[in-house]
A = this chain, B = another copy of it.
Amino acid sequence: MLLRRWARALNERTVRVRVPTVYDVAEKAGVSIATVSRVYRSPEAVRERTRERVVEAARALGYVPSGSARGLASRTTGVLGLCFPDHADPAVEEGYREGEGPDEDDAAATLYSDQVIRGMERAARRHGYALLIAASLEDGPQSLVAQVAGRVDGFAVLARTVPTEDLELIGRRLPIVMLAGPRERDHFDHIEVANEDGLRELTRHLVTGHGLTRLAFVGGEPGSPDAEARFRGYRRACREAGLPVPAEPDARGDMTLAEGSRAADALLDRAAAAGTAPPQAMLFANDQMAVGALHALERRGIRVPEDIAVTGFDGIPLGRAVRPSLTTVRQPMRRLGEEAVELLVRRLAEPDLEPRSLMLPVRTAHRGSCGCA
């Protein structure tokens, strides 16, 4: 270690602002670097007087342990990660900004991922972990996953964020838990929300609670697993209520406000053209579309809920702010994050456990747009 010391001394003269290391602290405290390390890792293993000397030396020098060096030496980081999608849909953001300036920095603009982040952060903290978050970007050797995966002890991935192929590779290296969306890989831990149950219950509420029978369901694009699951719940409720069971949604949209408006208009126009009565309720696969529909209906002078009931799915803040407030199914997003951490921590402790798949329950929120408020 002579060489090392020499290099350090040289360094001292060369570099502008020396970052203190264990060596500096050890020297100043008159102990070995091992002892300095112990003071931080297992203080009780060091005699009190010694420990004090070290702590004082560290303070005096402004020493902060290097996370990278620790991580490298100990093969753990004390950090959990979350990869979430970059909101591909600009209208999602716009939607929240209703009636406010265009460049508004609006506290109401809470996104799905915000809640998941908060949940994970909370739970991670309880377990002594910090949280590293990153939204998906481009790929390449420098991809998002690589950046995150290399710096954490385990991480969660929101559905459709990362190519499964990449996950497959990385999953061999550290624990991954998949959040929301169907269980694509049965060897990963996985958490989803009860999409089907939620829409089933909501539909049942409209039928038995409000006596509505002419319903219409507006689904997402065919590829969306969440929207499909919700549609299944709708069908199931229809069947159970003895109503006609549609093979396909009455309309589809890309989950945005604009498409919600369009779908509502289309449904109404279609009924008018066919000379049939319009639906008594429109159930949308998500809140954004439902709010869009609210706008469209208002434009047409159709009253909600008097003339028609409208429902969404998710429980976004905007749904509370609109009038009438939106009846919806609320997803436990924060809990999703919390459970993700629990699963990761569990697996870190016992890597050989069977992969688990959780289904989180949802809750319907009966508000104004179905006639409940």
Q: Which residues of A contact B (CB under 8 A)?
A: 17, 19, 39-40, 43, 55, 58-59, 62, 64-72, 77-79, 86, 100-101, 104-111, 114-115, 117-119, 121-122, 125, 130-135, 137, 141-142, 145-152, 169-170, 172-173, 314-317, 320-321, 330-335, 363, 365
A59 contacts which chain B residues (CB < 8 A)? 169
How far, in whole Å, are A39 and B142 apart by their CA atoms in the complex? Answer: 10
Smallest Cβ distance from A68 to chain B, in angstroms?
Answer: 3
A106 contacts which chain B residues (CB < 8 A)? 315, 330
**A319: nearest chain-B partner, CB-CB:** B107
> Taking A117-B114, A131-B132 as contacts, is the C-beta distance between A108 and B317 under 8 angstroms?
yes
Q: Which of B68, B107, B148 contacts A115 (CB 8 A)?
A: B107
Q: Which of B107, B142, B316 contacts A314 (CB 8 A)?
A: B107
> Taking A106-B315, A132-B131, A133-B130 as contacts, is the C-beta distance between A173 and B64 under 8 angstroms?
yes
How far, in whole Å, are A320 and B319 apart by their CA atoms in the complex? Answer: 11
**A54: nearest chain-B partner, CB-CB:** B141
User: Which secondary structure characterizes the binding site on chain A?
Assistant: mixed
**A362: nearest chain-B partner, CB-CB:** B105
How far, in whole Å, are A317 and B39 apart by their CA atoms in the complex? Answer: 45
The reply to whether A64 and B132 contact each other, CB–CB distance below 8 Å, is no
A62 contacts which chain B residues (CB < 8 A)? 169-170, 172-173
The reply to whether A108 and B105 contact each other, CB–CB distance below 8 Å, is no
The reply to whether B134 and A130 contact each other, CB–CB distance below 8 Å, is yes
Smallest Cβ distance from A349 to chain B, in angstroms?
Answer: 15
The reply to whether B72 and A69 contact each other, CB–CB distance below 8 Å, is yes
**A68: nearest chain-B partner, CB-CB:** B71
The reply to whether A151 and B68 contact each other, CB–CB distance below 8 Å, is yes
A333 contacts which chain B residues (CB < 8 A)? 105, 107
A317 contacts which chain B residues (CB < 8 A)? 107-108, 110, 317, 320-321
How far, in whole Å, are A65 and B317 apart by their CA atoms in the complex? Answer: 40
The reply to whether A39 and B141 contact each other, CB–CB distance below 8 Å, is yes
The reply to whether B17 and A172 contact each other, CB–CB distance below 8 Å, is yes
Q: Which of A67, A118, A149 has the most CB of B within 10 A?
A: A67
A117 contacts which chain B residues (CB < 8 A)? 114, 117, 133
The reply to whether A150 and B107 contact each other, CB–CB distance below 8 Å, is no
Given contact pairs A55-B141, A71-B71, a sample of 7 additional A-B residue pairs in the complex whose CB atoms are under 8 Å apart: A19-B173, A64-B150, A71-B151, A106-B315, A106-B330, A114-B118, A121-B133
Q: Which of B105, B125, B141, B150 contacts A67 (CB 8 A)?
A: B150
The 3 A-B residue pairs whose C-beta atoms are closest, nearest first, are A68-B71, A67-B151, A67-B150
Smallest Cβ distance from A144 to chain B, in angstroms?
Answer: 8
The reply to whether A64 and B131 contact each other, CB–CB distance below 8 Å, is no
A86 contacts which chain B residues (CB < 8 A)? 125
The reply to whether A40 and B141 contact each other, CB–CB distance below 8 Å, is yes
> Taking A39-B141, A114-B110, A151-B151 as contacts, is the C-beta distance between A132 and B135 under 8 angstroms?
no
A110 contacts which chain B residues (CB < 8 A)? 107-108, 110, 114, 317
* 22 A-B pairs whose Cβ atoms sit less than 8 Å apart in the complex: A40-B141, A55-B141, A59-B169, A64-B150, A67-B147, A79-B132, A100-B365, A104-B330, A105-B119, A105-B334, A105-B335, A107-B314, A107-B317, A109-B334, A110-B114, A114-B114, A114-B117, A117-B133, A317-B317, A320-B320, A320-B321, A321-B321
Smallest Cβ distance from A162 to chain B, in angstroms?
Answer: 12
How far, in whole Å, are A134 and B70 apart by their CA atoms in the complex? Answer: 18
> Taking A64-B169, A69-B72 as contacts, is the C-beta distance between A130 and B111 under 8 angstroms?
no
